[in-house]
C-alpha cells in the first residue's frame, strides 16, 4: 500500500469554538495561550532542564537525582534514575505539619448513600498501619501484590500501603472474572491478594472473595501466601485457615507507624494489565518518580487545581484513570476528592448530578459513555435531568476514556456546565500514565470533539506508516517523538513485546506509537482522535476512522442515543460498515426498523458523504459494555462477521442484547 492513499481521510468538520472567559483565564494556573506557549518553548529549548525543574519543584526527593533522562538503551528510557523517593510519602507525609493535614482528603459516598470523610492526617494513619500489617506478613520491597477491591477508601489505602513499603501493586478491576484474575496473578508472580468479601453496586451485594477463591483454585497461583479480606458487608465469606485474614484484624495488631521505604525513581510502582488486541493481557509497568511527577502536574495543569476545589473522578481504581486521578494525583496535589462506590443510575439516573450538588463538586471528570447513557436517561425522564440539581459549584468538566462526540460534548457543556465550565477532553492511555493531549481550561479555545493540543513537553505528531510527518489536515498515526517521564517502562516480563507493540522498528525503534489514528486541523493544529488504528475501515480504498461515523450517527440527536461502528469483510468494497445503534426510544423491529435504518444511512451520507453510509444497521436496547462502561468493540466485530461468540462475556451488564444485535434487517 503506498503512503499516498493510506492516510486516514477525515471528513467531519467542526467549526464551533469556545474561548475561555477573561475572568477564568486571569485566575488560572496556566493563564492564556502565551503562558502555554512559554512552557512549550522552555521544553523545546532545554528538554531535560524543563523536566528536571518540574521534578524538583513538584516532588519531595529523599535523595536528589543528578541524571534526568537516559536514552542510551532506547526504548527502555529511564528518568531521574539515581534519585530516590517514596510515592506514599509524596501523597501523605509531605502534607503533615501543613494546613492540608486537617483538610478532607476523601469524601466517600457509598452505594447506599452513606458518606464518610477522611482527612489527610487520618488517611496517613490508616495507610501507615496497614503498611505495617503487610510488612508483618513478610511482604517487602519488590514483591507484587494483587488488589481486587471495590471503590472504597480501603481500596486507595491498599494501593498507598503497597507503595509505602516498596511493593509493586497490580489492581484488577472488580468486574473481571476469576480466570482474568488468575492470569494476572500468575503473570505478575504475586505473593498476596487484597480483596473484599463483597462489593455493593446498584443496591446489590456482589461477591469478590468467592471469585478470588475460584481463581486461586484454577492452579498456577502457588506464589500467593496471603489473602487479606476487607469486610465491606456483614455477610460472611469463605476463609481459608493459614492463608486468609481479615483486614481490620491484621491492621489492629500492627504497629501504627510505618516509615516509608525510599526506592529508586525507576522502581516499579505498579503493573496494570490491559487487554492486547491479541493474546494474553499486557502488564503495563510504570515507574515511581516519573509517573508521580506527571500525576501531580496534570492535576495542576489540566484541572487548574485550586486549594478550594472538590475534585471528582468517577473512574474505578481498577483502571489507569483511577490510579492517576484517584489514588495518586489528587493526593500528591493535596486536593479534596469524592470517591463513589456505586453506579450512575442507582437509585436513579440523576445520581451523579445529585452528588455534585451534595458535595459541592467543582471539577467533574467522567467518560463519554457515561455522559451518553445519562443523556438518554435525562431525555426519557425529566426528574433525573441535570437541570433538577444545583450544579453551580462546578467550574471545570472533564472527559476521559474515548473521544467524545461533538453532540455529547455540547450536551455536557450546556446541561451540566451551564455553558460556563470549560470541557477538558483528555487524550491519554494506560501506557502514557497521564494526560498527553488536552485543552488547558484557562488557555485553550475549545472545539467540541477535539482534544486540542499536546501538554508542554509532550512531542506529539501525526505520521504515515513509515514514520514520515504528515501535513495538517491529513489523517495518519499518532506518535510521540520524545520520551516523557510517565511513559510505560516495559511490558512486565516481556520486553520484546514492549518494543514491537510500542516502538516499531519500521519507525526507527525510538518513536512511541499510540495505536490511534488522528488528524490535525489545517488552521489551528488541533488534534482530533479518529479511533484506534485497528478500528480504521477501508471502504473502496477510503480509510475512515470509526469514530467519525459514530459521531455523525449520534449527531442525529432526535433519534440516536449511542452508536458503535465496526467493519466486516465485503466482496465488493473490501470492507463494509456495520453500525450498532441504540435509539432514544424503544428498539424498532420489522418494517419500522428498516425505515429508521434508511433515515440514518441518508443522514450519515449527508454528514460525511455516501462512502460512509453503513451497509448494515442493527438496533439494540443498549451496547455490549464491560462493567467499566467500555464498549466491547472486538465482540461487535465478531457479531458483524456472523462469527460464533467465543470471548469471555462474563463482564457484560446485559448479555441478552447479543441476540438483538445479531439480527439482520
Query: pLDDT tens digits for 89-101?
Result: 999 999 999 999 9
Neighbour tally for 81: CB within 10 Å: 18
Using alpha carbons, select from 366, 128, 156 the residue that is nearest to residue 270. 156
Name the β-bridge partners of 619: 581
Task: Estimate to the nearest angstrom the gap between the alpha carbon of 398 and the chain centroid.
Answer: 12
Cα–Cα distance, 146 to 190 (Å, whole number): 6
Q: Of 260-269, 522-531, 557-566, 647-656, which has the strongest mean pLDDT? A: 260-269
Residue 243, pLDDT above cutoff 90: yes
What's the pLDDT tens digit per position in 593-634?
999 999 999 999 888 878 889 999 999 999 988 776 778 888
Q: What pLDDT is stored for residue 1 in this prediction?
A: 32
Helices (H), 85-177: 87-91, 120-136, 153-165
Contacts of 128 (CB under 8 A, 6+ apart): 164, 256, 257, 258
Region class of 327: left (phi > 0), else alpha (psi between -120 and 50), else beta: alpha
How large a percentage of the chain has pLDDT more than 90? Answer: 81
Q: Does residue 6 or residue 557 have the better pLDDT?
A: 557
CA angle 324, 198, 88 (to 5 degrees): 30
Which of 144-153, 444-453, 572-581, 623-632 has the weakest average pLDDT? 623-632
Band (255; pLDDT cuts 50, 70, 90): very high
Average pLDDT of span 422-437: 97
Query: Which pLDDT does position 655 carry in this prediction?
Result: 75
Confidence at residue 314, expressed as pLDDT on a 0 to 100 scale: 97
In this prediction the pTM is 0.89
**Structure confidence by residue, pLDDT tens digits, 466-514:** 889 999 999 899 999 999 999 999 999 999 999 999 999 988 999 999 9
**DSSP secondary structure string, 345-413?**
TSS-TTHHHHHHHHHT-SEEEE-HHHHHHHHHHHHH-GGGSGGGS--TT--EEEE-SSPPPHHHHHHII
pLDDT of residue 651: 65
pLDDT tens digits, 128-183: 999 999 999 999 999 999 999 999 999 999 999 999 999 999 999 998 888 889 99
Smallest CA-to-CA distance from 185 within 225, 157, 155, 156 is with 225
pLDDT at 625: 84
Pairwise CA distance, residues 473 & 440, whole Å: 23
pLDDT at 6 over 60: no
- Is the per-residue pLDDT at 248 higher than 70? yes
Provide, rounded to the nearest whole percent, the portion of the chain with pLDDT above 70.
Answer: 96
**Torsion, CA 214, CA 216, CA 217, CA 221, rounded to 10:** 160
- Mean of per-residue pLDDT scores for the chain: 93
Residue 665 clears pLDDT 80, i.e. is over it? no
Burial (CB < 10 A; 0-12, 13-18, 19+), residue 304, is: buried
Q: Determine the pLDDT at residue 547.
A: 85
Summarize the confidence of residues 309-319 as an average pLDDT: 97
Residue 209: pLDDT band by 50, 70, 90 thresholds?
very high
pLDDT band at 432 (very low <50, low <70, confident <90, very high): very high
Where does the pLDDT of residue 11 fall: very low under 50, low under 70, confident under 90, or very high at 90 and above? Answer: low
Query: What is the model's pLDDT at position 9?
Result: 65
Amino acid at each position: 500500500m503506498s503512503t499516498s492513499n493510506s492516510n486516514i481521510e477525515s471528513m467531519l468538520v467542526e467549526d464551533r469554538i469556545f474561548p475561555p472567559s477573561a475572568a477564568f483565564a486571569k485566575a488560572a494556573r496556566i493563564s492564556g495561550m502565551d503562558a502555554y506557549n512559554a512552557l512549550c518553548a522552555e521544553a523545546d529549548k532545554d528538554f531535560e532542564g524543563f523536566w528536571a525543574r518540574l521534578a524538583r519543584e513538584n516532588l519531595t526527593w529523599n535523595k536528589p537525582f543528578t541524571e534526568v533522562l537516559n536514552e542510551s538503551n532506547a526504548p527502555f528510557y529511564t528518568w531521574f534514575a539515581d534519585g530516590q523517593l517514596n510515592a506514599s510519602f509524596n501523597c501523605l507525609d509531605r502534607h503533615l505539619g501543613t494546613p492540608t493535614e486537617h483538610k478532607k482528603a476523601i469524601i466517600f459516598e457509598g452505594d447506599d448513600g452513606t458518606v464518610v470523610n477522611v482527612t489527610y492526617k487520618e488517611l496517613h494513619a490508616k495507610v501507615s498501619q496497614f503498611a505495617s500489617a503487610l510488612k508483618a506478613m513478610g511482604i517487602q520491597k519488590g514483591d507484587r501484590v494483587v488488589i481486587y477491591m471495590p471503590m472504597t477508601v480501603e481500596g486507595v489505602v491498599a494501593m498507598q500501603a503497597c507503595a509505602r513499603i516498596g511493593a509493586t501493586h497490580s489492581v484488577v478491576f472488580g468486574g473481571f472474572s476469576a480466570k482474568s484474575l488468575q492470569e494476572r496473578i500468575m503473570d505478575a508472580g504475586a505473593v498476596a491478594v487484597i480483596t473484599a468479601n463483597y462489593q455493593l453496586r446498584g443496591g446489590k451485594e456482589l461477591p469478590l472473595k468467592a471469585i478470588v477463591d475460584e481463581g486461586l483454585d484454577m492452579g498456577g497461583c502457588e506464589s500467593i501466601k496471603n489473602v487479606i479480606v476487607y469486610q465491606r458487608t456483614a455477610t460472611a465469606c469463605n476463609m481459608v485457615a493459614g492463608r486468609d485474614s481479615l483486614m481490620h484484624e491484621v491492621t489492629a495488631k500492627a504497629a501504627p507507624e510505618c516509615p516509608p521505604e525510599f526506592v529508586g525513581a525507576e522502581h516499579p510502582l505498579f503493573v496494570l494489565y490491559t487487554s492486547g488486541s491479541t493474546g494474553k493481557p499486557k502488564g503495563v509497568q510504570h515507574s515511581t518518580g516519573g509517573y508521580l511527577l506527571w500525576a501531580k502536574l496534570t492535576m495542576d495543569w489540566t484541572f487548574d487545581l485550586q486549594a478550594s476545589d472538590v475534585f471528582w473522578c468517577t473512574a474505578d481504581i481498577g483502571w489507569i484513570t483511577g490510579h492517576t486521578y484517584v489514588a495518586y494525583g489528587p493526593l500528591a496535589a493535596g486536593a479534596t476528592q469524592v470517591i463513589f462506590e456505586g453506579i450512575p443510575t442507582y437509585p436513579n439516573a440523576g445520581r451523579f448530578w445529585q452528588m455534585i450538588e451534595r458535595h459541592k463538586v467543582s471539577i467533574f471528570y467522567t467518560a463519554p459513555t457515561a455522559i451518553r447513557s445519562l443523556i438518554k436517561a435525562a431525555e426519557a425522564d425529566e426528574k433525573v435531568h441535570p437541570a433538577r440539581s444545583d450544579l453551580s459549584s462546578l467550574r471545570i468538566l472533564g472527559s476521559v476514556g474515548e473521544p467524545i462526540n461533538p453532540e455529547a460534548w455540547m450536551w455536557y457543556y450546556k446541561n451540566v456546565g451551564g455553558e460556563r465550565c470549560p470541557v477538558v477532553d483528555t487524550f491519554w492511555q494506560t501506557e502514557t500514565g497521564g494526560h498527553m493531549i488536552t485543552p488547558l481550561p484557562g488557555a485553550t479555545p475549545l472545539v467540541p470533539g477535539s482534544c486540542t493540543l499536546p501538554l508542554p513537553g509532550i512531542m506529539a505528531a501525526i505520521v504515515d506508516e513509515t514514520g514520515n510527518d504528515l501535513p495538517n489536515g491529513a489523517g495518519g498515526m499518532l506518535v510521540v517523538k520524545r520520551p516523557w517521564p510517565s511513559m510505560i517502562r516495559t511490558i512486565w516480563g516481556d520486553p520484546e513485546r514492549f518494543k514491537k507493540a510500542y516502538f516499531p522498528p519500521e519507525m526507527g525503534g525510538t518513536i512511541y506509537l499510540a495505536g490511534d489514528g488522528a488528524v490535525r486541523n489545517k488552521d489551528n493544529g488541533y488534534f482530533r482522535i479518529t479511533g484506534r488504528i485497528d478500528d480504521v475501515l477501508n471502504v473502496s480504498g477510503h480509510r475512515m476512522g470509526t469514530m467519525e461515523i459514530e459521531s455523525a450517527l449520534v449527531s442525529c440527536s432526535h433519534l440516536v442515543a449511542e452508536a458503535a461502528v465496526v467493519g466486516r469483510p465485503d466482496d465488493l468494497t473490501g470492507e463494509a460498515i456495520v453500525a450498532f445503534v441504540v435509539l432514544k426510544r424503544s428498539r424498532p423491529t420489522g418494517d419500522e426498523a428498516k425505515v429508521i435504518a434508511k433515515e440514518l444511512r441518508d443522514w450519515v451520507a449527508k454528514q460525511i458523504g455516501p462512502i460512509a453510509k453503513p451497509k448494515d444497521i442493527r438496533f439494540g436496547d443498549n451496547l455490549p459494555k464491560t462493567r467499566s462502561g467500555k464498549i466491547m468493540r472486538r465482540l461487535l466485530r465478531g457479531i458483524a462477521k456472523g462469527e460464533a461468540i467465543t470471548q469471555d462475556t462474563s463482564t457484560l451488564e446485559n448479555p441478552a442484547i447479543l441476540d438483538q444485535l445479531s439480527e439482520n434487517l
